[in-house]
Amino acid sequence: MKANKVNSDNKNKKEKRVETAYDMWVLRLYVAGQTPKAITAYTNLKKICEEKLDGKYTIEVIDLLKNPQLGADDQIFALPTLVRKLPVPVRKIIGDLSNTERVLVGLDLLPVS
């Protein structure tokens, strides 16, 4: 009985993941120190990636207080900002990423409703 339950739980988890044709997602999270918004953004992003991208992602956190010049390439003007480098096209999402539906639509993981 337990084996059947475990299998059904695994099936439900797999159904929640998005089937993507991309080998790897490259995400950059620009922050300004370890502020509450930056920590919330990272936590929310990590949760979304674990649930939807099945380990096919990298997250690079860039602290602009330590390296302000790194924000110039991606034209960062507000923090925290998530930049999806791959798959192309590049996409940006500003904020603490607490609106999961908005983040999924912004990353192209959920169709616009």
Q: Percent of the chain at pLDDT above 70?
A: 80
Residue 112: per-residue pLDDT: 76
CA 35 to chain centre: 18
Q: Which tokens hold the place of 38?
A: 């930056």
Per-residue pLDDT reduced to its tens digit, 1-26? 333 333 334 434 443 444 556 789 99
Sequence spans of domains, the chain: 20-106
Q: Which tokens go with 68? A: 């302000």
Q: What would the pLDDT profile of 28-41 be if each residue is shown by its tens digit?
A: 999 999 999 999 99
Q: Partners of 60 in the beta sheet?
A: 28
Architecture of domain 20-106 in this structure: 3-Layer(aba) Sandwich (3.40)
Q: What is the DSSP letter of 19?
A: P
